[in-house]
C-alpha cells in the first residue's frame, strides 16, 4: 500500500497514512485512547470521595452507638440501683437460714452497690 495524506473522518485534518490500520489522525487517536483513562481516573476519584463520605457516616454512627450504649448502661444501673436495697433485704442470709447462696448473692449485691455509688 502506498503512503498518502488522508483526511481524518473525525476532525477533517490531513494526516500521513503510512499504515493501512491508521484510520484517524494522531490527535484523534490519542484523544480516543486517553478518554478511558480519564474516565477511569474520575471513577477512582469519585470512589475515593464516596469512601471518605462513608467513613464520616460510619464515624458518626459509631459515636452514636457509643452514646446509646452509655445511656443504656446508665439506665440499667439506675433501675438496678432503684431496687438494690430491696434485693439485699430479700437475699439476706438471715432470711434463708444462712444458706451459702444467700451469703454469696448478698455479698455480690453489696459489692455492686459499692460500685454504683462511686
Ligand atoms: Zn482527527
Closest alpha carbon to 3 in 24, 14, 17, 13: 17
Centroid of ligand 1 to alpha carbon of 19 (angstroms):
16
pLDDT at 1 over 70: no
| 23 CA distance to ligand 1 middle (Å) | 9
> Could you tell me the residue range of the domain that residue 111 belongs to?
36-117
- Distance of CA 9 from the midpoint of ligand 1 (Å): 7
pLDDT at residue 109 is higher than 60:
yes
118 has pLDDT over 90: no
CA 27 to centroid of ligand 1, rounded, Å: 6
Question: What's the predicted TM-score (pTM) here?
Answer: 0.45
| Residue 108 and residue 67 share a domain | yes
Do 41 and 99 belong to one domain? Answer: yes
Shared domain check, 52 and 26:
no
Q: What is the mean pLDDT of residues 46-64?
A: 90
C-beta separation of 3 from 17 below 8 A: yes
CA distance 87 to 33: 79
Amino acid at each position: 500500500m502506498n503512503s498518502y495524506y488522508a483526511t481524518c473522518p473525525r476532525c477533517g485534518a490531513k494526516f500521513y497514512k503510512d499504515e493501512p490500520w491508521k484510520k484517524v489522525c494522531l490527535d484523534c487517536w490519542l484523544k480516543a485512547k486517553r478518554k478511558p483513562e480519564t474516565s477511569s481516573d474520575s471513577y477512582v476519584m469519585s470512589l475515593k470521595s464516596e469512601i471518605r463520605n462513608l467513613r464520616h457516616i460510619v464515624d458518626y454512627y459509631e459515636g452514636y452507638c457509643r452514646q446509646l450504649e452509655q445511656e443504656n448502661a446508665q439506665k440499667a444501673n439506675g433501675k438496678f440501683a432503684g431496687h438494690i436495697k430491696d434485693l439485699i433485704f430479700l437475699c439476706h442470709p438471715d432470711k434463708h437460714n444462712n444458706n451459702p447462696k444467700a451469703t454469696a448473692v448478698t455479698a455480690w449485691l453489696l459489692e455492686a452497690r459499692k460500685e454504683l455509688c462511686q
